[in-house]
Structure 1
Amino acid sequence: MDVRVSESFPRRLRLTRAIDFRQVFKNNIRVGDNHITLLVGRNTGACPRIGFAIARKQVPTAVQRNALKRVVRESFRKNRHRLPPRDIVIMVKREILLTRPADFRATLDQHWNSIIKQCESPC
């Protein structure tokens, strides 16, 4: 029997309100490297949620910012069923523009695994 898991990305999986972002920025666990930082905060819901804080200063053009967000959303969508119910804010540094998309995806997968491991103990 093939059990299908939905890989959609509905609005309830996104951080949309400023208060949600402030909460994550105030109380968080940091996961990341030289190119990307993931802030992980508590979530009262049953599903992980994701938000983006990608500054124009770090990624100058809208095309580049949107491409990065597209890659992160796709990776989150594929891995969200493994992630604990936390709020995650993604921030990037300018150096991210020098990495290949495949390397960026691999890095994101490592960070998702790191979040899972850190949240096995009280997160």
Structure 2
Amino acid sequence: MRASFPPTARLHRPSEFAAALKGRRLARGALFVVSTPRQTQPGSGQEARLGMVIAKRMAPLAVSRNTIKRIIREAFRQKRHELPPRDLVFRLHTRITPCSLSELKSQVRSEVDALLDRSRR
């Protein structure tokens, strides 16, 4: 199966993000919290959808924020077909410590993979 990330696999509206953030927490790691709505949204389709909240306060450098988002998107794209049909919102809850970009990438990727595996249940 070819892994893709079409617009139907993303959250677009603020109401979709708000419902997921007010919903239940699926998993928590050192950097991220994964939330999902308590009830499925009508018209949300039959596939997993991704939303990200990467605050400037937690990752002050734009290059860090963009790298984090890119890594989350790629991990989600590769595991999307294994995930149940629900909305997932990744929220950065811990301030990023100054480190090299390659260290940040490996740290984020390992945590996101673990959180996606826990969200599968």
> Which TM-score tier does this pair reach, normalised by the shorter chain?
0.7 to 0.9
Q: Could you report, residue by residue, the CA deviation over 1:7-59 in whole angstroms, capped at 9, with x for unpaired residues?
A: 11111100010111111122222311221111122354201001111111001
Distance in 1 (alpha carbons) for counterparts of 2:116 and 2:34: 9
Q: Which of residues 99, 109, 113 in structure 2 aligns to 1:105?
A: 109
1:85-100 aligned within 5 A: 85-92=85-92, 93-95=94-96, 98=99, 100=104
Q: Which runs of 5+ in 2 are unaligned?
A: none
Structure-1-length-normalised TM-score? 0.82
Alignment check: 8 A CA contact 1:32 1:38 kept? yes
Deviates most, 45-54 or 93-102: 93-102
Distance in 1 (alpha carbons) for counterparts of 2:117 and 2:97: 20
Structure 1 residues 32 and 54: CA distance shift in structure 2, 3 A: same
1:22-41 aligned within 5 A: 22-41=18-37
Q: Which runs of 5+ in 1 are unaligned?
A: 118-123
Following superposition, the deviation at residue 62 of structure 1 comes to: 1.6
How many corresponding residue pairs? 113
Supply the AA of the counterpart residue of 2:117.
N
Match of 2:70 in 1: 70
Alignment check: 8 A CA contact 2:26 2:118 kept? no
Over the residues paired in the alignment, what is the CA RMSD in angstroms?
1.7
- Which portions of structure 1, spanning 4 or more consecutive aligned residues, are displaced by more than 4 angstroms? 96-99
Residues 1:21 and 2:17 aligned together: yes
2:17 alignment partner, SS class: helix
Structure-2-length-normalised TM-score? 0.83
Distance in 1 (alpha carbons) for counterparts of 2:26 and 2:59: 21
Distance in 2 (alpha carbons) for counterparts of 1:15 and 1:73: 12
Deviates most, 45-54 or 91-100: 91-100
